Structures are given as structure tokens and as C-alpha cells.
Structure 1
Amino acid sequence: MDSTSLIFLLLLAGGVWFWLSSIRVLELARSAGREACIRANVQFLDDTVASIGVSLVRDAFGRRVLRRTYRFEFSETGNSRIEGRVVMQGESVESVTMDPYLVVT
């Protein structure tokens, strides 16, 4: 096996790892967004989150991990779309924030 084939296989393996990791973290972020909406008694719209950013950060142990930011939409009345964000650090939820909304009683 020549060095070009080895480099190609390593890049391919890295791409597959990143893709599988991204799918796993996307599902965790979607669950975190849905749970935040349930706790806030609002509707989680479209049952999805969308990636809006990726950066490299250090975790509590000093290891480099990816910080991924996702956005989702929710509605308190069904007539509006309000944005929320889920920030994932590695495979852990770092934060879930929701833009201000009208509390319906």
C-alpha cells in the first residue's frame, strides 16, 4: 500500500467518524430541545434542530472537544415561531436557551 492510499483511507475514516459523531450529537441536541420545551410548556416545532456552528474548545479535563451549536424553533401559542439554542460540548449538553416569549396561562 502506497502512502497516497494510506492518507486517503485515513481521511475517509476521519470523515466517517465525524459524520457518525455529528449524527449522535444531533440526536442528543434534538432531545435536549424537546425536553426544554416540555418543561416550559411550549410546542417544539418541526421536531428538529439545525446546526449553526462548530468550534474546538477544551473540556473540564483539558481535552479538545467540539462545541456544536444548534437552533430550534418553538411556539407558545401555535401562531408564532421563537428561536431557541442548544450548545453541545462533546456529547454533553452545555446549555439550552430560549428567546423570551409570552407566557400563556
Structure 2
Amino acid sequence: MDNLLAILLVVLIGWFWLDSLRAREIAVGICQAACRRQEVQLLDQAIALRRLGLSWRAEGLKLRRVYRFDFSEEGTGRRSGYLVMRGMALEDLSFGLPTRIEDA
């Protein structure tokens, strides 16, 4: 019984690790594309996990991850934004910048 519990724990830790790597990879891609659309520079080409939790909605129970990233508008200075992933899907993305109005 102890061996079965130990094997289950190792499998669970392995799944969590692989799931976290995949979610981070997707989040980095989303963040890079959003930075290009906003015409800002993603600094350090990295994002950092700030919070991890569980989210229960109609679709079921999923891991909710909040990532923070740094960007620069003009190549100088540093601003922070955040990205929220629920499972492997984007839930929220914020640069903390005013919305740009495009001229028609």
C-alpha cells in the first residue's frame, strides 16, 4: 500500500510539473504576441509565476495561474503587466496601459 501511494505521488508530481511547463510555454507565446500588438517590448523574454490556485466554474475544476511580466514602451523604463491562465486558456491579460483608439 505504501509503494502504491509513493508511485501515485510521483506520478502526480510529474503531471503537475509537465502541466506547469506547458502552461508557461503557452503564456509566453500569448504574452509575446500581445506585446507585438501593443507595440511594446517584452523585457527579458520571460514571465514569472506570481500565484497558483484552483478555479471552479461550470466547466469544472482547473488550475489558475497568474504570471507577471515586464515590458517597456519606448526602450527605457520598466512597467509590469499580468497574464492569467485558467488551465491552458487565457483568462485575462493586462498591460495597465490606456486603450489606444485607432483612427479610421
The two structures have a TM-score, normalised by structure 1, of 0.89
Q: Percent identity?
A: 37
Q: Helix, strand or coil: the match of 1:77?
A: coil
Establish whether residue 12 from structure 1 lines up as the match of residue 10 from structure 2: yes
Structure 1 or 2: more strand by fraction: 2
- The match for 2:66 is 69
**After TM superposition, where is structure 1 displaced by more than 3 Å over at least 4 residues in a row?**
none
- Higher RCO (CA-CA < 8 Å; seq separation 6+): 1
Deviation at 1:35, TM superposition (A): 1.0
Q: Helix, strand or coil: the match of 1:39?
A: helix
Q: CA RMSD in A?
A: 1.4
What amino acid is aligned across from residue 52 of structure 1 in structure 2? R
What amino acid is aligned across from residue 41 of structure 1 in structure 2? E
The two structures have a TM-score, normalised by structure 2, of 0.90
- The match for 2:91 is 94
The number of equivalent residue pairs is 99
Q: Which runs of 5+ in 1 are unaligned?
A: none
- The match for 1:84 is 81
Deviation at 1:99, TM superposition (A): 2.1
Cα distance in 2 for partners of 1:85, 1:42 equals: 14
